[in-house]
Chain A
Amino acid sequence: MTNDAVIRIRRIVLPLLFIAAILAYMEASVRIWHVSPLVLAAPSKIFATLAASLPLFLEHAKQTAVEASVGFVLGALSGVVIAMLMSMWQPLQRALYPNLIAFQLLPKIALAPLFTLWLGVGAPSRIVFTIFLCFFPAMVATMAGMSSAPAYATTLARSLKASRLQTFTLVHVPFAVPFIMSGLKVAATLAMIGIVVGEFVTAQSGLGYLIMFASSSGDSSILFAALFLLCIEGLVLYGVVVIAEGLVQRWYGAPFEATATL
């Protein structure tokens, strides 16, 4: 076996081994060292709980997934659109952008109760809070992307007498795509966080509610099962964005390296 192959196998095996070790440790703590089920649940118990009341879990999971997706789509869309408007119209950018950037430094998640105050305890307040969270990474990434077109491309557009609109759609937007996609990846993560924090604060259902409920009910297997489902949802939403990124790149003929990192 070549050295490369060993390294490649190691990169897959070692993380899995580590996760297996943690699961084994959890199992052993409960079974052998008798750690209270309040604090830790054996993985076997977690999956038994999950399997036993799967329809119930899925019902909560569905609510969280739907709300997170709606919030993500609307938040990302508004972020991209507003950033494009700002990059097209300088006065707007100069007045608005610094104010929006200032928000980046604040613990925005702490604003969750404000949305409850305004929109009540239902789904709208959680979704609007998620839109608010998703807006910023999408907006900042798009702003960075719109100014990333290299000078030779804009010069070429000018010498070919491209109209403003043509320069925008044919030069600036394609160069911005890798940036936008990496902003959307951050937004996908924040969408899950937004919905869950919203559910912590207000909800009567959803995975966040289940987690809160379980943490005070004395049965940590429900808590871990809900966390597990939440992680899967987060990974799926992130995966969808990654797949979309691949599709968009293929559509544009992938002329641009995705070098944007945020």
Chain B
Amino acid sequence: MSARHLIAPSARNLMDVWLPPLCLLLAVCILWQLGMSNDIVSGMLLPRPTGVISYGVDNIAMLSAQALFTAWQAAASLLLAAFLGITAGTLIFASSIARDTFYPIILVLQVLPKVAMAPLFVVWLGTGDTARIAFGAFLAFFPVLLATTTGLEQTPQYALRLCRSLLTTPAQTFCFVRVPYALLHIFSGLRIAATLAVTGVVIGEFMTASRGLGYVIIDASNRIDSKALFAALMMLCIVGLVLFGLVVLVQRAFKAWYFGQSNYAGGA
């Protein structure tokens, strides 16, 4: 079950790869709907799939406004994290003092439950958008940084030896050899960061916001309105997937721009 199957679609691959998971999904939904219709589970706890969809359709304006609010904050924190993470990652790669100082600390921070620091951001930055964006960026920053440093370090030896024998300047080696090899890593860091940015913003909204999908989710949970809760969660999934998809698109565009049509290192 490799990526090759997903890239080259044919009737057979469609059957092999996409059919089984979709069948299972459909079966679960049908069982769910039937179970609800027979009142096995209370509708308060679990809405019917059709109920969620009709709620979503009825409230599409409200839901998409809230989703947009969450989405732009998540996008802002992702951009911030990407900028800071790539910059800091490059610095840590370039300076051995910075690396010796910060690398151990960052590795320990990776293990700690950083999410628990959310209330600290509220205390420092207030209950507005700034705190949520900063918190999302804080969560998303670390994977970008680590991916950048790791990527820059993993240039193959033969490429570096070639550079040396061609007498390239350090700047040339960095721009034309190290960065292209690092791109694959950096973008995989950014994909992780995209999910974390949404997570950070939503946790921020759980605690402080009066708008956004996180607020809708908490509000629905308090009112035991499972239809609204599920519809908001669906919207959140869409926001998460769109942001993730944007990173993938940027990666493609970047790759095409950086490598032209040639097909060597750093491809995904």
Contacts and interface: CB of A to CB of B under 8 A. Distances in A.
B170 interface: no
Given A113-B229, A114-B221, A99 B104 contact: no
10 contacts: A14-B100, A17-B101, A39-B124, A94-B1, A105-B195, A109-B203, A112-B206, A117-B45, A185-B111, A192-B116
Interface in A69-115: 91, 94-99, 105-114
Nearest to B230: A114
Contacts of A188: 111
Interface string B88-130: 0000000001001110110010111111111110111000000
A230 B113 contact: yes
A210 B198 CA distance: 25
B111 A109 contact: no
A110 B120 contact: no
B265 interface: no
B25 A215 contact: no
Contacts of A208: 116
A105 B16 CA distance: 22
B251 interface: no
Given A96-B21, A117-B45, A117-B224, A234 B101 contact: no
Interface residues of A, number: 53
B123 A109 contact: no
Contacts of A215: 119-120, 122-123
Contacts of A165: none
A7 to B, nearest CB: 8
A117 B123 contact: no
B133 to A, nearest CB: 15
Contact of B214 (A95, A98, A110, A118): A110
A231 B114 CA distance: 9
A227 B120 contact: yes
Contacts of A38: 123
B149 interface: no
Nearest to A214: B119
Contact of A113 (B21, B108, B221): B221
B150 to A, nearest CB: 9
Given A94-B21, A107-B236, A110-B217, A189 B102 contact: no
Given A14-B100, A110-B217, A117-B45, A235 B233 contact: no
A106 B240 contact: yes
A196 interface: yes
A50 interface: no
Contact of B229 (A96, A106, A114): A114
A182 interface: no
A31 B197 CA distance: 35
A39 B131 CA distance: 14
Contact of A15 (B105, B116, B224): B105
Contact of A220 (B123, B207, B214): B123
B239 to A, nearest CB: 8
A235 B111 contact: yes
B241 interface: yes
B116 A105 contact: no
A15 B21 contact: no
Given A91-B20, A99-B25, A235-B111, A116 B221 contact: yes
A100 to B, nearest CB: 9
Nearest to A100: B21
